[in-house]
Chain A
Amino acid sequence: MRGTTLRAAVAVVTTGLVLTACGSDDGGSSGGGDGSDAATATSAEDFGGMDALIEAAQEEGTLNVIALPPDWANYGEMLETFSEKYDIEINSASPDGSSQDELNAVESQRGQDRAPDVLDLGTAFARQAQAQGLLAPYKVETWDEIPENQKDADGHWFNDYGGFISIGCNASVVETCPTTFAELLDPQYAGQVALNGNPTQAAAAFSGVWAASLANGGSLDDIGPGIDFFTQIKDAGNFNPVEITPRPSRAARPRSPSTGTTSTPPSPRSSPSRASSGRSPSPPTECSAATTARRSARSPRTRRRPGCGRSSCTATTARTSGWRAAPVRSGCRTWKRRGPPTPRPWRRCPRSRATSSSRPTSSRRRRRPSWPSAGTRRSPADHRIAGRGRAGPSQEGPARPRARRPRRAAVLPVRRDVPAAADRRARRRGVPRDRPGHVRGELVDRLRPGGHRGPYGRSYLGSLQLSAITAVLGAVLGLALAVAVLRARRGRLLRRLVLTASGVLANFGGIPLAFAFIATIGTSGVVTALLTDTLGLGLGGFSLYSMTGLALVYLYFLIPLMVLTIVPALEALRPQWREAADNLGATGWQYWRYVGGPVLAPPVIGATMLLFASAFAAYATARALVGSSIPLVTLQIADALSSNVVVGSENLGKALALGMVLLIGLVMIFYAWVQRRTQRWLS
């Protein structure tokens, strides 16, 4: 508790959404009021006032929110209160999602009814989303009360709460809790330090890195020292890539790291975690508080006719606190939605939410309102909404709602095109490159081993190496196993057993496999505990969460695959050949060198290629074990698809995928050629 820094706050801005189809140009009218259409409205007044907004929202009936953990920042109660007060159903998607998940949902659910109406993002993500055109401007009712430095001038987002970053520690597991960042390097915390999330995707974890930077001489403009610090922790063997989740973890559950930086409301639920603080030089963060709610309602009627919807939300407002807000720390949740003309009308928000009365949570969570006078602030804010209609990528500007916009599909606009195009668009819009986003990009780069150069080339290289090594090892071991089993006298039962098991294990992969190994030689695995605690040997520098560890895990499904593939070929080796060789006085070596070897070579090479392809394409296992900390193409593709860190990354994902297809294609052609040669011998 001494503070450290950052927590990301989140605020929600809601944006708008809906749009309707107002036929004529700017929409003039619409359903709920005389305001303009929901897609372009930037305040409740645009819809005819708060009452009209509420009415429209009720008509729509539902509000889609995302990533609002019920036990964080009192969201659970806020959602309930909102629902009751306005009689609007709230559809709360992935409550444990990260900021990046929210942005991904905006993109991937564009046009669908379940697309989020409002977002609660870390500040850096909010700025990034704004830069990417994912947010629609909307000023809540109490907009003027929000300090200038806590909101986007155009209304794309505002800060609604913030917090401190501290080091949390499970006192039932860790004897001496760390009190400073430097202590996290202590060998006694081996394998026990974790961030609560992937810093490239979750604001809280990102803030943790930033806090480490501030604690190590960095500044708000330089996150480098924080990255270096975590590199040191990793090199020291203390870092555990597991992501901390707030879920209560059973004592027995080995895997959770016991210390970690957590952001604010650390999970209250879990047990004894007490926060100690890293001392960080940084000032407290500021936060703003707002709650927001917004609901969108979509009324059926609107869909059919050009109506307009509106959304409203409430946000509470902010008052400034005496602290200075550091840009970084505050988060905002923003919302954005610009959609094609969607008729999603409205959401209204309750006015006071969260605030005073129901705030039990805050103490639990240590959420800190930005404004000192929280009690007073009942701000109803309304929210904004807005969606500008935009139909296609090309459309610029608030599009005018298309004339018929039937469904409520709100489309979220989104950047999804090519990087180049996105850049161009951004330039056109005059969107400045946002600093946090930038830093985050750098973070992403630096988190990958190898520095700045050629992350993609490195990932291909990493994948090729890993696949080649595991394929060869798997082939050798699989062949040895196959031979051992086939040749064993009295081995019928053993043989059937091995073949059956191979059939099962060859398809064993992904999460279950990763779990099995984590339970075995993960940080707190059974074998790890045996070697370390009981025998005092340690793992000798071996880490499951490394390339070597991954290779060990891959072999688990590659060896059985080899056995399955090679057994038919081995069975085709006729015993008579061996006998004939023996009769002629050949030694064992000569037999394999001149007879067995040449006959078996093609199928063995072919099978090795198959193993290579299989290892190369493996994804879930690697993801579950190492996250994206190791450069592998499949991980990189998934990152590119799910990450907005780099504008245009989706196309990058496509390019990487095509590269994989080509590579595997070459391998398979070789495989086919080898197979053909084999047929000659085996027929």
Chain B
Amino acid sequence: MTALAESVAGTGGVAPETPVRPGRRGAGAWRYAVLAVLGVYFLVPIAASVWYTVRERDGVSLGTYAEIPSAEGFADSFTRSLALAGLTVVLALLLMVPTVVLVDLRLPRLRTTVELLTLMPLVLPPIALVVGVRSVLAWAPDYFLNTWLAEAFFALQEPALPWILVLVYVVLALPFVYRALDAGVRGRTSGP
């Protein structure tokens, strides 16, 4: 209101007696309605899932959570997931940091191309990507059987640590990694 009054009357001026748009003040009710409705929509499922995990036939118990660490297969899968995530981050950075710096410093003309390429994963539904990857993996038994290439393909699919997943995850993470790095690098170079 003050800002508005000043802009109307000028600094040091006299504020008009009535607000320019008197009706606006009460119009905020819908905002609270929106916030309330969406608040319920977003919070209830989370609350419900928490409740769902702790309720027992008679009362509440955190037993389910306590069982997690000792659940069969949990340790394995959990560490495997962590390993996959960690490897994905490392690999994505190894790949993108040099690329972004190089593009920024030496090959600015390629910026558009690189940007488009990194956006591909957003365009391509992951399931379609999987279809492609599967087709390629199928080459091993079909065409390369008994060659080192087939062995390499099989090694990628080793259940203990499926590297193929890391590779796919890196691709899926490209848009995010590129954008973040690009913003950082540009902020630096366009600075002082």
Contact = CB atoms under 8 A, between A and B. Distances in A.
Interface of A: 108, 110-114, 250-252, 254, 340, 391-393, 402, 404-407, 409, 411-412, 416, 477, 480-481, 483-485, 487-488, 494, 501, 505, 512, 515-517, 519-520, 525-527, 555-556, 559, 576, 579, 582-583, 588, 613, 616-617, 619, 634, 637-638, 641, 650, 653-654, 657-658, 660-661, 664-665, 668
A111 B145 contact: yes
A251 B57 contact: yes
Contacts of B21: 582, 588
A526 B51 contact: yes
Interface in B105-137: 119, 122-128, 130-132, 134-135
Nearest 6 A/B pairs, CB to CB:
A111-B141, A617-B125, A519-B52, A484-B31, A657-B128, A516-B45
Interface in B8-24: 8, 20-21, 24
A520 B48 contact: yes
Contacts of A527: 44, 48
20 contacts: A110-B141, A112-B157, A393-B142, A409-B146, A481-B34, A484-B35, A505-B42, A520-B48, A526-B52, A559-B38, A588-B21, A616-B125, A619-B126, A637-B128, A657-B131, A657-B132, A660-B127, A661-B123, A661-B125, A664-B123
Interface residues of B, number: 52
B7 interface: yes
B189 interface: no
A520 B43 CA distance: 11
B136 to A, nearest CB: 12
Contacts of A252: 55-57
Nearest to B56: A252
B162 to A, nearest CB: 12
Given A519-B45, A556-B42, A340 B123 contact: no
A658 B31 CA distance: 43
Contact of B146 (A405, A487, A494): A405
A555 B38 CA distance: 11
A631 B166 CA distance: 30
B140 interface: yes
Nearest to B8: A583
A240 B125 CA distance: 29
Contacts of B44: 520, 527
A480 B31 CA distance: 8
B138 interface: yes
Q: Which of B31, B47, B126, B146 has the largest count of A CB atoms less than 10 A from its CB?
A: B146
B123 A613 contact: yes
A91 B56 CA distance: 36
A517 B45 contact: yes
Nearest to B124: A661
Nearest to A575: B3
A409 B48 contact: no
A451 B178 CA distance: 46
Given A484-B35, A516-B46, A582-B20, A613 B122 contact: yes
Q: Which of B47, B51, B140, B142 has the largest count of A CB atoms less than 10 A from its CB?
A: B142
A334 B4 CA distance: 81
B70 interface: no
Contacts of A519: 45, 48-49, 51-52
Nearest to B147: A406
Contacts of A665: 123
B138 A634 contact: no
A477 B131 contact: no
A2 to B, nearest CB: 31
A111 B52 contact: no
B146 A660 contact: no
A189 to B, nearest CB: 21
Q: Which of A254, A555, A657 has the largest count of B CB atoms less than 10 A from its CB?
A: A657
Nearest to B21: A582
Contact of A641 (B28, B38, B131): B131
Nearest to B150: A111
B144 to A, nearest CB: 9
Nearest to B138: A416
Contacts of B7: 576, 579
A254 B56 CA distance: 10
A559 B38 CA distance: 9
A556 B123 contact: no
Nearest to B123: A668
A404 B146 contact: yes
Contacts of A658: 128
Contacts of A526: 47-48, 51-52
A291 B116 CA distance: 57
B154 A111 contact: yes
Contact of A619 (B8, B127, B154): B127
A522 to B, nearest CB: 9
Contacts of B64: 250
Contacts of A406: 146
A518 to B, nearest CB: 8
B192 interface: no
Contacts of A391: 145
A335 B4 CA distance: 80
Nearest to B116: A672
Nearest to A498: B35
Contacts of B30: 484
Q: Which of A477, A481, A512, A616 has the largest count of B CB atoms less than 10 A from its CB?
A: A481
A501 B46 CA distance: 12
Contact of B125 (A480, A588, A664): A664
